Structures are given as structure tokens and as C-alpha cells.
Amino acid sequence: MTAGRSRFSQWADSAKGKTPEREPKATPKPRAWKEETRIVSSGAIPKWVRVVYQPRVTVRKSPSLTAPSVAFLEAGEIVEIAEVRQGWVRLAESETQARDVSEDCEAWVLQDGKAVSLGILLEPCEPRWFRVVFEPRVPVRTKASVQAPAIAFLEAGAVIEADEVWEGWVRLSTQDRKNLDISDDCGSWVLIDGHAKGAGRLLVTCPPPAERRPQLEVAE
């Protein structure tokens, strides 16, 4: 098994905890950044955390400080989680696959280390960049609902920037809306996981496209 490296940590925004004035609640789910990783769907709404403890945190086989370690997460790394339990988080299956954690092992990380004088190790975050992994394409809808009409399509492999991530949906950035010729008075939502509709995972988090990185670094 190998320790996880920070793959795209500097390209995500912290969670804002907002509840947009949209419609619906759909039921979707998870992922990790590694081209050959199989994307696993569980039907849950995806959630992510960022490692804020320096220099890294330990991933353990069970939610206990005495459990053996199975991997490490570097400071700044963003990972998807499947469960939160009494100050611990369990990594999504796609994350364990990306780190070569054996299938018979779970992967738990301490989130709140105050009891052992470590402080907060992980904080909720909202990814900013996503890649389309469903073939041949996914619809962009006027509202965050699978019943809403499709107004555009994104081909497999396309990388998009999120203006907002909400209840398992991504709202496209102004630039992406412009690229797709979507008018300002129209919504632009893409489902992250289509498990509930038998479609599997549609989007996964990823780094921004190479051409955008220099300007993002300057902005930061």
C-alpha cells in the first residue's frame, strides 16, 4: 500500500455552508484522483474534507488511535468521505482504492484530535473542479433536479469549474456557462452521481486544466 499524496488540494474552496434557493433534493455519491481507479457509487450525497494538520495524518484500519495504519494523507489534501463517526471519518471506497488499501480493510482518519491535544485535523471543504467520467456525456439541467429539462451536454473527459456544490449537484461557473452558451437567466446544474437512476458516477473531482493554473496561482 502507498501513502496518499496531495493531488489537487490548492484548487478547492472551503465549504461555505450555504443553502441555495433552488429546488430539489436528489440522491447521488463518491471518488479519488487516479486515472485507473474504478469509480464506485453508493448512492449517498458526496462529502469531502481537507487535511489541515501538518505535515500529514494517519489513515487507520478502524476508528481507534491504536489501530494499525494503512496509509497517510498529506497536509492540504482533499479526500472524499463515506461516513462520520464520533470524531472519525471513513474514506470513500474510491479513495482507499487510489491508495492501494486492501479490500478487506476500512480506512479511518481522526477528524477531531482535541482529546489528544492535536486540535482539528480535517475540515469540511467544497471541491472546485470536476471531470466528467460518464460516457458518452452528461446533461446540464436548469435546476438541481433530474426532472428539470436539459439545456446542454458535457462530453466525457470535460473538466468543469463549480460555482457551487449543493446536495449532490454542481452549478457551473460563469465561464463554463459562457462556453456552453447558457443564458444568464437559466440554471446550469450537473448531477455528481447517478446511482439512484442506475447511471453510476457522473463527475469526479480533479485538478484544474493546465491552462488555468498559472492565473489561479497568481490570484491566490
What would the pLDDT profile of 78-101 be if each residue is shown by its tens digit?
Answer: 999 999 998 999 999 888 888 888
- CA neighbours within 13 Å on the CB side: how many for 210? 0
Tell me which of 33 and 209 has the higher pLDDT: 209
Classify strands 203-205 and 13-14 as parallel, antiparallel or unpaired.
unpaired
pLDDT of residue 114: 87
pLDDT at 11 over 70: no
What would the pLDDT profile of 23-76 be if each residue is shown by its tens digit?
Answer: 433 333 333 323 323 334 445 688 999 999 999 999 999 999 999 999 999 998
* Burial letters 45-69, b for 16+ CB under 10 A, else e: bbbbbbbebeebbbbbbebeeeeee
Three-state secondary structure call for residue 89: strand
- Measured in degrees and rounded to the nearest 5, phi and psi for residue 210 equal -55, -40
Cβ distance 139 to 190 under 8 Å? yes
pLDDT of residue 216: 55
* pTM, to two decimals: 0.69
Domains of the chain: 9-36+43-126 (2.30.30.40), 129-219 (2.30.30.40)
Three-state secondary structure call for residue 9: helix
What would the pLDDT profile of 125-179 be if each residue is shown by its tens digit?
Answer: 989 999 999 999 999 999 999 999 999 999 999 999 999 999 999 999 999 999 9
- 168-173: long-range contacts, CB 8 A cutoff, minimum separation 24: 168/26, 168/27, 168/28, 168/29, 168/45, 168/46, 168/192, 168/193, 169/26, 169/28, 169/144, 170/130, 170/203, 171/20, 171/144, 172/140
pLDDT of residue 13: 46
Alpha helices for 26-123 (secondary structure H): 93-98
Identity at 19, one-letter amino acid code: T
| Average pLDDT value over all residues in the chain | 80
pLDDT at 1 over 60: no
Q: Residue 121 and residue 123: Cα distance in Å, rounded?
A: 7
pLDDT at 2 over 90: no
Cell, residue 114: 482535541
pLDDT of residue 200: 84
Cβ distance 30 to 80 under 8 Å? yes
Please enumerate in sequence order all residues whose Cβ is within 8 A of that of 71, keeping only pairs 6 or more positions apart, or say none.
1, 2, 3, 4, 59, 96, 99, 100, 101, 107
pLDDT band at 209 (very low <50, low <70, confident <90, very high): confident
